[in-house]
Structure 1
Amino acid sequence: MSSTLTPEREAHLDESLDGAERDRLITDSLQTSQRRAEGVKLRRGLTFLLMTLVLPGSAQVAAGNRRVGRFALRIWAAIWVLALLTALFLLAWHTAAITVLTGSATLRVVQVALVVLGIGWALLFLDAWRLSNPPDLARRHRLGFALLSLGLAFAVAAGLVASANVVSAQRELVSTVFAGGGDEAAKDGRINVLLMGGDAGADRTGLRPDSMTVASIDQVTGRTVLVSLPRNMERAPFPASSPMHAKFPDGFRCADHSCMLNAVYTYASEHKNLYPGVKNPGAQATKEAIEGVTGLTINYWALIDLKGFEDLVDAVGGITMDVYRKVPIGGGHAKLYGYVEAGKDRHLDGREALWFARSRSDSSDYDRMVRQKCVMNAMLNQLDPMTVLTKFNGIASASKEIVATDIPSSQISTMLDLAQKAKSKPVGSIAVVPPLMKDSSNPNLPKIRAAIGDQIAKSEAMDQPKPSASAAPAGGASTSAPKKSSTSASSSDPGKKGADTSNLSKVCSA
C-alpha cells in the first residue's frame, strides 16, 4: 500500500488541524474572560468590605439598602463630630471634661453605645459580604472571602466590646473606690493626702496601716513633699474636734505602750460608735492623729492593702528602680525565700516590689520607711497615662480589691493633673526618725512640726524666682543659701540609707 497522501487527503488533514487550533483558542479565550470576570467580582466584594471598614454604610448606599446605609453614615459622622467636640472640651475645660467623662451616667451611656456600635458595624460587614453575591464568586475565592468578612466583623465587634469592658471597669472603679467624703479645699495652697499601707495578716487583729505617708502637694505647681511617719510613735494628739480627743486628751497612749500610731486605725474600727455615720472610722481617726502630729490639715486619705499591692504592680507591668541594697524576701520569724538583689535600674515584679517596700528582716522601721518612699517615687514617675490606659482593666481589677479612699470622683481630674505636674519635678521628702524623733514613746511634737514646715517651705522656694545679684541687701550682705535647720537629720542614721531623705532621687539611687 502506498503511504503517499493525496492532495485531497492533505487538504482534509489541514482543515482538521485548523479546527482543533480554533477550538483551543476559543477555550483559552473563554477561560481568560471567566478569570477576568471572577477577578472583577472578587475586587467588587473586597471594595465593599473596605468601604464598610472606612465608611460604615457606604457599601449599602452603593449597592444595597440605601436607607440603612444613609443611617449608618449619619451615625458615623455624628461619632466623629462628638469625638472632635470632646477633644475641644478637654482642651478648653480640662477639669470639667474629666469630671463629666468619669461620671457614672456618662460611662454607662458610653458602655452601651460601644456594644451597640460593635454589633451594628459587624452586621454591616456581613451585609457587605451578602452584597458581594458569594455564590457568583469563583469556588476558590468563596472560603477566603467569607473568612475575611467574618474576621473583620469579629474584629470590630470584639474591639468595641473590649472597649466597653474597659469603660465598665472604669465605672465600677469610680463608684467602688472613689466614694467621696474628703475635703477638696486646699490648705495654705496645698492638697495633703494621707497614704496608708495596710496589712490585715492572719496573725493580727484587724487591719493596721504599717505604712503612713503624707503627700503634701502644691496646688499650683504639683511639687510634692512626702512626710513619712513611724508606726511605733506614741502619744499622737487628736484635734479638739475629734471624738478620740475625749477618750485620749493627752494623746494616744497606754501604760503597756501598745497605743502606737498604727493602732489608732484598729481602735477606732473597734469603737465605731465614736464615729456615727462615718464609713471608715479607722481611716478617719488615723487622719486626725496624723494632723495632730504633723500640724497639716489632711484633705484626703487613701488606703492600700499591702497583700494586694503586688497585683497592682503586676497590673502595670512591674516597676523599674534602683535597689540600693539587697533586701530579704521573708526572713525574721518566717522562712527566708531569697533576696531582692541590689542593682541599678532593676525591673521588679509585684512580689519583689512588695518585699522591697515591706521587708522587716535585717532592717529597721526607719530604713523600711525610706524603701517605701522609693517605691512610691518609682511608681509616680512611671505610671504615665498611656500605661494606665492600655492596662486599665488589670489596674482597675486590682484597685477595687485593695484601694479605699475618700477622694470623690469629682476630684479625679484634679488629682491626675497634680500627679502629672509632680512627675516633672523632684519629690521632696522628710522622715520622722531619729534624731528628729529621739524617743518614739515621747516625741517632741513642736520640733517635728517645725521640721515638716521647713521642708515644705524649701520645696515651695524652689518654684520662686531667684533673686538677682543686684537685689542683694545694702551693705554687701550675702544672699547665700539658708543654713540647714537644726532639726535636719544627721547622716548617722538608724536606717541603712540615712535619715535625711530630702532628695529622694539621691537617697533611692543604687
Structure 2
Amino acid sequence: MPQESDLRNLSEPTRFKRALTLLLMTLVVPGSAQIAAGNKRVGRFVWRLLASLLAIVVLIAVLALIWRGPTINFIVQPWFLRVIQAVLVVLAIGWAVLFVDAYRLGKPLLLERNHRLTASITDAVLALGVVIALVWASTVVSAQADFVASVFGGHAKSKADKGRYNVLLMGGDSGKNRTGLRPDSMTLASIDAETGRTVLIGLPRNMAKVPFPEGTAMHDKFPDGFQWDDCAANCFLNGVYTYATQHKDMFPGVTDPGALATRQAVEAITGLKVNYFVMIDIASFVNLINAVGGINLDVGKRVPIGGVGSPIYGYITPGKNKHLDGYHAMWFARSRAGSTDYERMTRQKCVMTAMLNQLEPRTVLTKFQGIAAASKQVVKTDIPSSHLGTFVDLALDSKKLKVSSFSPVPPLIKTGNPDFPLIRTKVAQAIARSEALDKAAEDGSDQKTTTPKSTAKPSKKPTSTPTKSTPDVDDVASICTAA
C-alpha cells in the first residue's frame, strides 16, 4: 500500500483520479480497492465470497433451464426466500463498509477542498445507491415470502390425473348486502401437464340438480341432485358453497367445506378430478388489476356499470383493445344488467385470458409488491407452495398456445334440467380435441382434426400452435373480439 509521503509526491489531479478510481473499482468489483491499495486479506475474502454467490446463482440459472418447474418450486419456498433476504441485507451492509474503506484509502485529507467534496459526494451517492438497490430487492423478496406463506399453505400435493391438472377457478362476490363469499362464477381450467395447453370449462352458476360423487356427505344428503322443497335460487350450483359452509357438521375436520363440496359437484358434473381450487374475490379484484397496470381486451357490446338492485352509474363502451383499469375490469367481469349469465361467463373468460397473456415477467418484477399485497386480499387457494413452480412453468408454456373453451349452456344444455352424461361427453371431446392439437404440432401436421380415438400424450412440448381450429371448441380470443 502506498505510504502517505509517496502520495504527497503525486500531483493533485493524480491523487484525485486515484481516489475516484478506488470508488469505481468498489462499485464494479467489490474488494478490488482493498486488493490494490488496502488490506489484501479483506479483498481476497470478499472475492471468494462473491465467487461463491455467483457460482450459486449460475447453478440455479442452469437448473432453471434444465428443470424449470422443480427449480422454481425450490426457490419460492418461504425459508429459501428468507435466506435470500438475509443475504441481500448483509451484502448491502458489507458493500457500504467497502465504500467507506475505499474512500479512506483515497486519502481525502490530501485532496484539495473541491476535489475532497467531489470524492465525498461520489462515495455517498455510490454507497447509497447500492444500499437502496439491495434493500429494495430484499423487500421484494420479503413480499414474495409473505405472499407465498399467507396464500399457499402446507396443503397436500395433488398428482396430475390422466396427464392433466384440473384447477377450479371460482369468482366469489363479497359485495354489499351479501352474506359471506359466494362463488358467482365457476370455471374449470383443465391443463395439459406436459404442454400447458388449457381448456376452460365454464359452469353456469344457475345449473340445477347438480350431482355429487357417491360416498360423499353431499351425495348422502342429496342422492338425486342438489335440490329440496322450496329451495328457490339456493339450490343452484353456486348455492353449494353456501350450503356446505352453513352445515360444517357434515364435514368434520374440513377447513373449507364450501370449497370441498363445490369441487365434488364439479367433479360429478364434468367427470374430471379437480386437483386444486382458486377462489378470487371479485369485489377486491380492483386492486389486483390496478397493481398490474390494467388490462387490454376487446369489448363487443356496451356493458353497464351497476344495475340489478342498484342504479346504473355508467357504461363500458365497445371497442377494440380497450384499456380497463381495476374498477372497469371488475365491472366488465361482474355486470349482470341487460345480459345473461352465459354472456357474463364469456366476459369473465376474456378477463382471465387477458391476465394470462398480458402479465409479463417485467411487470411482475417491477410491480411485485403491489401485486403480492393485492393478491393476499383477493386469492384463496389450496395449491401448495411446493407446486407453484409446476404451474408457473405451465403458465409460461400456455402463453404460446391458444386457449379453448366449452360451456354447458343452452341450447345444448338446459341448466334447469341438465343432461349430465352429455356434459361429461362434451367435456371429454373438448379435451381430446385440445390434446390432438399438441399431437398435430408434434407430428408437424396442420390438418383439421376430429375427435381422436386415442388421447395419448405427446412425448415433448409443441414448438408452435396449429393455425387451424377444431370444431365445437371455441377459441377464447374469438369470443372476445369486438363487434
SS at match of 1:109: helix
Measure how far apart 1:480 and its partner are.
8.0
User: Larger Rg: 1 or 2?
Assistant: 1
Structure 1 residues 138 and 219, CA, compared in 2 at 3 Å: closer, same or farther?
Answer: same
- Match of 2:278, SS? strand
SS at match of 1:462: helix
Q: What is the aligned partner in structure 1 of residue 417 from structure 2?
A: 442
Counterpart residue number, 1:76: 50
In the alignment, is residue 459 of structure 1 matched against residue 451 of structure 2?
Answer: no
Distance, in Å, in 2 between the alignment partners of 1:248 and 1:326 is 41
Tell me, yes or no, if the aligned pair for 1:195 and 1:302 is still in contact at 8 Å. Answer: yes
- Which residue, 181, 185, 196 being the options, matches 1:207? 181
**1:414 maps to which residue?**
390
Checking the alignment, whether the CA contact within 8 Å between 1:98 and 1:413 is kept in structure 2 is: yes
Q: Which stretches of structure 1, 4 residues or longer, exceed 4 Å deviation after superposition?
A: 479-483
Task: In structure 1, give the amino acid aligned to 2:438.
Answer: D
- The amino acid that maps onto 1:259 is C
- Higher RCO (C-alpha under 8 Å, 6+ residues apart): 2
> Is residue 2:278 matched to residue 1:306?
no
Superposition deviation, residue 195 in structure 1: 0.2
Partner of 1:151: 125
Partner residue of 2:407? 431
Aligned equivalents of 1:458 and 1:280: distance in 2? 34
Task: Name stretches of at least 5 consecutive residues in structure 1 with no aligned partner.
Answer: 1-33, 469-478, 484-499
Paired residue secondary structure (1:436):
coil
C-alpha distance in 1, partners of 2:314/2:405?
A: 30
Q: CA RMSD in A?
A: 2.2
* Counterpart in the other structure of 1:371: 347
Amino acid at match of 2:32: S
What corresponds to 1:505 in structure 2?
A: 477
CA deviation string 1:388-416 (max 9, x = no partner)? 22222111111111111111111111111
Secondary structure in 1 aligned to 2:304? Answer: strand
Q: Equivalent residues in 2 for 1:218-367 (5 A)? A: 218-256=192-230, 257=232, 258-367=234-343
For the residues of structure 1 that align with 2:473 and 2:437, how far apart are their CA atoms? 17
The residue aligned with 1:398 is 374
Aligned counterparts of 1:190 and 1:73: Cα–Cα separation in 2: 47
C-alpha distance 350-117 of structure 1, shift in aligned 2 (>3 A): same
Q: Following TM superposition, by how much is the alpha carbon of 1:481 offset from its aligned partner in structure 2, in angstroms?
A: 6.0
Quick check: 2:286–2:327 contact (8 Å CA) kept in 1?
A: yes
Q: Could you tell me how far apart the structure 2 residues matched to 1:69 and 1:467 are?
A: 54
Q: Percent of aligned pairs with the same residue?
A: 53
Alignment of 1:123-162 (within 5 A): 123-162=97-136
**Residues 108-143 of structure 1 deviation map (CA, whole Å, 9 limit, x = unaligned):** 111101101011101111221122222222212233
**Counterpart position of 2:72:** 98
- Deviations for 1:77-104, whole angstroms, at most 9, x for unmatched residues? 2221221122122223323322221122
Letter in structure 2 aligned against 1:38? E
Deviation at 1:281, TM superposition (A): 1.4
Q: Which amino acid aligns with 1:192?
A: N
SS class of match (1:283): helix
Uncovered stretches (5+) of structure 2, i.e. residues with no partner: 1-7, 452-471
Q: Deviations over 1:460-493 (max 9, x none)?
A: 122224899xxxxxxxxxx98659xxxxxxxxxx
How many angstroms does 1:237 deviate by?
0.8
**In the alignment, which residue of structure 1 is the partner of 2:167?**
193
Aligned twin of 1:217: 191
Mapped partners of 2:85, 2:448: distance in 1:
59
Query: Given residue 360 of structure 2, which amino acid in structure 1 is its aligned partner?
Result: D
Query: Given the superposition, is the C-alpha separation of residues 358 and 467 from structure 1 closer, same or farther in structure 2, using an over 3 Å criterion?
Result: closer
CA contact (8 A) 1:60 1:128 kept: yes
Matched, 1:39 2:13: yes
Q: Specify the alignment match of 1:17 in structure 2.
A: none
Q: So what's the TM-score if we normalise by structure 1? A: 0.84
- Partners of 1:143 and 1:336 in 2: CA distance: 64
Q: Secondary structure at the match of 1:234?
A: coil
User: Aligned partners of 2:68, 2:32: CA distance in 1, in Å?
Assistant: 35
Provide the C-alpha distance between the structure 1 equivalents of 2:119 and 2:315, rounded to a whole number of angstroms.
56
User: Partners in 2 of 1:229 and 1:409 — Cα distance?
Assistant: 27
Q: 1:210 to 1:227 in 2, by over 3 A?
A: same
* Equivalent AA in structure 2 for residue 155 of structure 1: G
Segment of structure 1 superposing worse, 130-139 or 347-356: 130-139
- Equivalent AA in structure 1 for residue 366 of structure 2: T
In structure 1, C-alpha distance between the alignment counterparts of 2:334 and 2:441, rounded to whole Å: 40
In the alignment of these two chains, the number of paired residues is: 450
Q: After TM superposition, give the deviation of residue 52 of structure 1 in Å.
A: 0.2
Query: 1:311–1:350: 8 Å Cα contact kept in structure 2?
Result: yes
Contact 1:431/1:501, CA 8 A, preserved across alignment: no
Does the CA-based 8 Å contact 1:182-1:300 persist in structure 2? Answer: no
C-alpha contact (below 8 Å) 2:430/2:473 kept by paired residues: no
